[in-house]
Structures are given as C-alpha cells and as structure tokens.
Amino acid sequence: EPRESWAALAAGGVAGVCVDLILFPLDTVKTRLQSPQGFRKAGGFRGIYAGVPSTAIGSFPNAAAFFITYENVKSMLHHGSTSYLTPATHMVAASLGEVVACLIRVPSEVVKQRAQVSPSSSTVRILSHTLYHEGIQGLYRGYKSTVLREV
C-alpha cells in the first residue's frame, strides 16, 4: 500500500504541473479580461507567463495533496462498504481531497492572479507585499468560495 501512495503522489503531482503550465496562458488572459483595470492596462498579451513561478511551485504539492488524500480516504471508507456505496465513497474522498488541496492552491492562486494583472512585479515581491499588508489571511482570500466551487 505505501507503494500505491507514492505512485498516487507522483502521478498526481506530475499531472498537475503539466496541466497548470500548459493552460497558464489561457488563465492569464481570462484573469486580465476580468480585471477591473481592463485587459490592456492589466498587461494585455504582454508577460503572458507572469505569475508562473507561484503556479510551478504550488502545482506539484497541490495535485499530490489531492491525490494522496483521495486515495487514503477512499481506502479507509471502502473497507466493508457495499457496491452501491462506491459512488458516495468516491465523492467523499474527492471532496476531502479538494479541501486539503485548496490549503495549497488558494495561496498560490492569490499570488498568481495578482502577478497576472501586475506583470511588472515579481512573485516574491507580491508574496511579501501580501503578507506584510494583509497577513496570512490575505493569502487565503477566497478559500471558502474556492472549496465550495471545487467540491
């Protein structure tokens, strides 16, 4: 069973990094289109990979946390359950996986989105500015709504 956990962790992490990096430019365009300052002032098509460091750093642990939680909860709930409960087992495991993954995803997303609409600022500068002015709560802005959306 430990071998399966490591496989889930590695597979989930690698898959998450690949998806996030491939789709990053589309996410940047979406974020800039939604920006109150307007698409052009938010950077337009310039610096389309602004904020990618926070995504790259957070992507592997985010996806790995989801899959490791999912697999462990699923195995705990599956013992003794009947086949008609299998969908509920998967739903509960996936929901708890998302709750855990969002603990990593949300701070990464906050920094990424702020970098996307302010491409001249570095990821480190945005992170330190957020922590200084808003504290840890600033990094978890939108946690509840993100968990609700993901679950």
Q: Residues near 85 by Cβ (< 8 Å), separated by ≥ 6?
A: none
Measured in Å, how far apart are the chain's first and last C-alpha atoms?
26
For residue range 112-126, what is the model confidence (pLDDT) as tens digits? 999 999 888 888 999
The CATH number of domain 2-150, selected from 3.40.50.1000, 1.10.3080.10, 1.50.40.10, 3.30.300.210: 1.50.40.10
Run of H or E residues at 64: helix 52-78
For residue range 12-21, what is the model confidence (pLDDT) as tens digits? 788 888 888 8
Task: Kindly report the pTM of this predicted structure.
Answer: 0.79
What whole-number distance in Å separates Cα of residue 51 and Cα of residue 102?
18
Q: With contact defined as beta carbons under 8 Å apart, do 56 and 17 qualify?
A: yes
